[in-house]
Amino acid sequence: MVSIPIALEGQRHEVIVGAGASSEAPALAAGRDRVAILADRRVAALHGPLIDGASTLEVDAGEPLKSMDGLAQVLDFCAAAGLSRGSLLVAYGGGTVGDLGGLAASLFKRGLDVLQVPTTLLAQVDASVGGKTAINLPAGKNLAGSFHQPAGVLCDTALLATLSDAEFSSGLGEVIKTSIIGGEAALGQTEELMGSLIERDPRALTAVVEACVRVKAQVVVSDPEERGPRRALNLGHTFAHAIESAAGYGAVPHGVAVGVGLGLAARAAEATCGAPSELTERTVLLLERAGLPSSLGALRGVYGLEERLTPAALRAGLAHDKKGAVGAPEFVLARGAGDVIMGQPLDEDLLAELLA
Ligand code: GLY
């Protein structure tokens, strides 16, 4: 197991990566006056309770969980469990459980420590690291949230063995994104290990999760509250959010939408910023090897959402992306591995071509 420190002004914690990392949870909870667990019901059934004797709220993971009702349920659970500001809330599940648990922890009694134990590939390489928390509003995804750095993150790669193939591939979308942002060494490693990753080889999983956490940790430390450089982590995400919004939230898994977003961002970077076609080819090949669509055409074919993923609906979804200025979508594009530019507008002709 490896431990990756994240040191921010006024806060320091470790991300522990490796097979068996979740067995560190009882030690991290020791000394707290109370411990409560927000757990994905399926994960708890497959992998056990994490910490014996802790009050546990089991929930059904998924985007509908990230609602006002879901938040109220978790806050009521914290109150019923008698948590104080010296207690610990553990979020044990994928990204939706981590986002909701993190937000509840940031609100309960004005701030309670949260231990993130992410159980999906997507949550281990992205969502659990960096302190973003959120629920969705009817107006859009992740529109109500906070930055609340966790007390620790345990990325137990052994837990990834029970993910469905679809959920695992979705996580590979974020792996590919982070590898491009990380630079040639990270991208080269993901290319080298993709075959073993798909086989869920334990060593490949740990190496790649570790590499992604290191890339993300470096970016987060430079800009914890996303005022500048952290926006690089949104590579492919302006397109991805438009896809998720046009398809209806939950219809296309986030990492799948990110994969298509990476393919579109690569083509946009080639057309506007002099990015080499080789980077587009490498991106598309990695997505294909991961079992992910790299174009809207392929996505429409796989998900049968032709009526929803129309160019007009996607263009409207771009206008609503919360990271861009109102009505003028901005994009994060890679000119090369590790060379990411932010805040790029794209002209309407190019957008029309990309969204066709
Ligand atoms: N998922 C992007 C970020 O944490 O900033």
Which pLDDT score is estimated for 283?
98
Q: What is the per-residue pLDDT across 197-246, written as a single tens digit (0 to 9) for each? A: 999 999 999 999 999 999 999 999 999 999 999 999 999 999 999 999 99
Are residue 194 and residue 310 in the same domain, yes or no?
yes
Told to judge if 177 belongs to the known catalytic residues of this protein, a careful annotator would answer no
Average pLDDT over residues 321-338: 80
Are residue 100 and residue 182 in the same domain, yes or no?
no
Ligand 1 centroid to Cα of residue 218, in Å, is: 12
Are residue 138 and residue 243 in the same domain, yes or no?
no
Closest CA to 316 of 351, 264, 342, 266: 351
Tell whether ligand 1 has an atom less than 6 A from the beta carbon of residue 241.
no
Taking the CA of residue 129 as reference, the ligand 1 atom at the shortest distance is 4
Which pLDDT score is estimated for 319?
79
Taking the CA of residue 219 as reference, the ligand 1 atom at the shortest distance is 5
Name the one residue in this structure whose structure tokens are 């939950």: 250
Tell whether ligand 1 has an atom less than 6 A from the beta carbon of residue 47.
no
Closest CA to 90 of 55, 125, 46, 133: 55
Told to judge if 322 belongs to the known catalytic residues of this protein, a careful annotator would answer no
CA atoms within 13 A on the CB side of 214: 13
Which pLDDT score is estimated for 327?
59
Which residue's CA is minimally distant from atom 2 of ligand 1? Answer: 233
Closest CA to 285 of 187, 171, 182, 181: 187
Are residue 139 and residue 186 in the same domain, yes or no?
no
Are residue 195 and residue 143 in the same domain, yes or no?
no
Closest CA to 230 of 216, 221, 219: 219
* Between 319 and 134, residue with greater pLDDT: 134
Told to judge if 110 belongs to the known catalytic residues of this protein, a careful annotator would answer yes
Tell whether ligand 1 has an atom less than 6 A from the beta carbon of residue 99.
no
CATH value at residue 279: 1.20.1090.10
Instruction: Single out the catalytic residue among 66, 141, 148, 216.
Output: 216
Are residue 82 and residue 158 in the same domain, yes or no?
yes
Told to judge if 231 belongs to the known catalytic residues of this protein, a careful annotator would answer no
Write out the residue range of the structural domain in which residue 316 sits: 165-208+227-355
Instruction: Single out the catalytic residue among 237, 267, 282, 300.
Output: 237
Which pLDDT score is estimated for 103?
98
Average pLDDT over residues 255-266: 98
pTM: 0.95
Q: Per the domain annotation, does 222 fall within a domain?
A: no
Q: Per the domain annotation, does 214 fall within a domain?
A: no
CA distances from 96 to 40, 63, 147 (A): 9, 6, 15
Q: Per the domain annotation, does 215 fall within a domain?
A: no
Q: Per the domain annotation, does 324 fall within a domain?
A: yes
Are residue 86 and residue 138 in the same domain, yes or no?
yes
Please report, rounded to a whole number, the percentage of residues in the chain having pLDDT higher than 70: 98
Told to judge if 132 belongs to the known catalytic residues of this protein, a careful annotator would answer yes
Query: Is 67 within 8 Å of 135 (Cβ atoms)?
Result: yes
Told to judge if 282 belongs to the known catalytic residues of this protein, a careful annotator would answer no
Confidence band for 325, pLDDT divided at 50, 70 and 90: low
Q: Which 8-state DSSP code applies to residue 62?
A: S
Ligand 1 centroid to Cα of residue 125, in Å, is: 10
Question: What single letter denotes the amino acid at residue 145?
Answer: G
Q: Is the pLDDT of residue 331 over 60?
A: yes
Are residue 185 and residue 246 in the same domain, yes or no?
yes
Q: Per the domain annotation, does 265 fall within a domain?
A: yes
Bridge partners of residue 8, in order along the sequence: 11
CA distances from 159 to 90, 174, 214 (A): 16, 18, 20
Ligand 1 centroid to Cα of residue 150, in Å, is: 14
Q: Per the domain annotation, does 277 fall within a domain?
A: yes
Tell whether ligand 1 has an atom less than 6 A from the beta carbon of residue 130.
yes
**φ, ψ of residue 185 in degrees (nearest 5):** -65, -45
Ligand 1 centroid to Cα of residue 68, in Å, is: 22
Tell whether ligand 1 has an atom less than 6 A from the beta carbon of residue 63.
no
Q: What is the per-residue pLDDT across 10-43, written as a single tens digit (0 to 9) for each? A: 899 999 999 999 999 999 999 999 999 999 999 9
Q: Per the domain annotation, does 65 fall within a domain?
A: yes
Told to judge if 148 belongs to the known catalytic residues of this protein, a careful annotator would answer no
CATH value at residue 81: 3.40.50.1970
Told to judge if 216 belongs to the known catalytic residues of this protein, a careful annotator would answer yes
